[in-house]
């Protein structure tokens, strides 16, 4: 009879997982720059495809699927708002023109692509590596520590909310009964215990840091050491080439929507 090895159930680290955290931060910033420059949706879509390529290489489609409703709401909001705020000469109906509709699509692609790029970073980088990478990038140690602690805190808040919800269900509270507004009102009282439990845990962490002498010594040692590998330089070179391409399009004004007024 074969024994089950828990480690065998873990997904194998992909190429994106094995990249240096500093490189992944650089890829994130380059992705932001590439999508923020152009106005034309087809040019923004090229940057979106590059970010989706990272999702595919990282095997992070499952994490992306969790954002589908948020991306759907973002698409509706961007098309509804920016299509009416922007103006163009080719009127389609009411205040919406072909140019403003294209700008609304481009805005959704920009916001959605930046969300997905951040998701790739968080899904492929352990908090410890990201913290060490920020310190290597000469970020102030307290700022890097606070950022890493905040990332660790997000699942804790969701776990606390789930525990409070299960405790209320054990007391006979039915969450799904009634209309959407009724269910929303039923969830509002959860905020008080979640806030109190989160505040109590924050105080416990503060006491733990103080008892361990946080920020008492300027020099520190680190268990984790990171070094740039050839694959990191290759990834930076490819990303830099793509960024130069988008910069060239922007300097030549080939990524702008003709006649668009904001």
Check whether residue 195 and residue 84 sit in a common domain: no
Check whether residue 107 and residue 62 sit in a common domain: yes
Residue 256 lies in a domain: no
The C-alpha atoms of residue 113 and residue 117 are separated, in whole angstroms, by 6
Residue 65 lies in a domain: yes
The C-alpha atoms of residue 87 and residue 191 are separated, in whole angstroms, by 42
Check whether residue 189 and residue 239 sit in a common domain: no
Check whether residue 174 and residue 44 sit in a common domain: no
Mean pLDDT, contiguous 10-residue spans, the chain (262 residues): 41 83 94 92 94 92 88 90 84 84 92 93 90 90 85 79 81 71 74 81 83 76 85 94 94 88 78
Check whether residue 194 and residue 207 sit in a common domain: yes
Residue 217 lies in a domain: no
Check whether residue 149 and residue 243 sit in a common domain: no
Tens digits of residue pLDDT in 135-181: 998 888 888 888 888 887 777 777 888 888 888 778 777 767 666 77
Tens digits of residue pLDDT in 170-192: 877 776 766 677 777 777 777 78
Residue 4 lies in a domain: no
pTM assigned to the model: 0.79
Residue 223 lies in a domain: no
For 160, the domain range is: 132-211
Quickly tell me which residue has 């997905």 as its tokens.
116
Check whether residue 20 and residue 102 sit in a common domain: yes
* 37: helix, strand or coil: coil
Helix (H) or strand (E) holding 72: helix 68-85
Check whether residue 28 and residue 117 sit in a common domain: yes
Closest Cα partner for 99 from 115, 86, 117, 80? 86
Residue 41 lies in a domain: yes
Check whether residue 122 and residue 161 sit in a common domain: no
Q: How many domains does the chain have?
A: 2
Residue 262 lies in a domain: no
Check whether residue 120 and residue 138 sit in a common domain: no
Residue 51 lies in a domain: yes
Check whether residue 238 and residue 191 sit in a common domain: no
């Amino acid at each position: 009879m074969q024994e089950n090895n828990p480690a065998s159930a873990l997904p194998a680290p992909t190429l994106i997982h094995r990249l240096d955290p500093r490189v992944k931060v650089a890829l994130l910033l380059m992705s932001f720059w590439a999508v923020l420059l152009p106005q034309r949706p087809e040019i923004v879509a090229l940057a979106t495809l590059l970010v989706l390529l990272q999702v595919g290489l990282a095997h992070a489609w499952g994490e992306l699927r969790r954002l589908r409703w948020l991306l759907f709401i973002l698409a509706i909001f961007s098309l509804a708002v920016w299509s009416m705020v922007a103006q163009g000469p080719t009127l389609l109906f009411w205040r919406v023109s072909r140019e403003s509709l294209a700008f609304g699509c481009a805005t959704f692609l920009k916001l959605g692509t930046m969300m997905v790029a951040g998701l790739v970073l968080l899904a492929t980088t352990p908090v410890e590596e990201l913290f060490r990478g920020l310190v290597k990038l000469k970020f102030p140690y307290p700022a890097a520590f606070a950022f890493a602690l905040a990332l660790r805190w997000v699942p804790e808040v969701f776990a606390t909310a789930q525990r409070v919800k299960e405790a209320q269900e054990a007391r006979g509270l039915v969450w799904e009964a009634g209309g959407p507004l009724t269910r929303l009102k039923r969830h509002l009282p959860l905020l008080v215990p979640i806030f109190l439990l989160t505040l109590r845990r924050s105080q416990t962490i503060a006491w733990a840091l103080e008892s361990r002498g946080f920020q008492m010594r300027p020099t520190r040692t680190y268990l984790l050491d990171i070094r740039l590998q050839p694959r990191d330089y290759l990834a930076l070179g490819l990303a830099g080439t793509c960024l130069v391409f988008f910069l060239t399009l922007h300097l030549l004004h080939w990524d702008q929507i003709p006649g668009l007024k904001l």
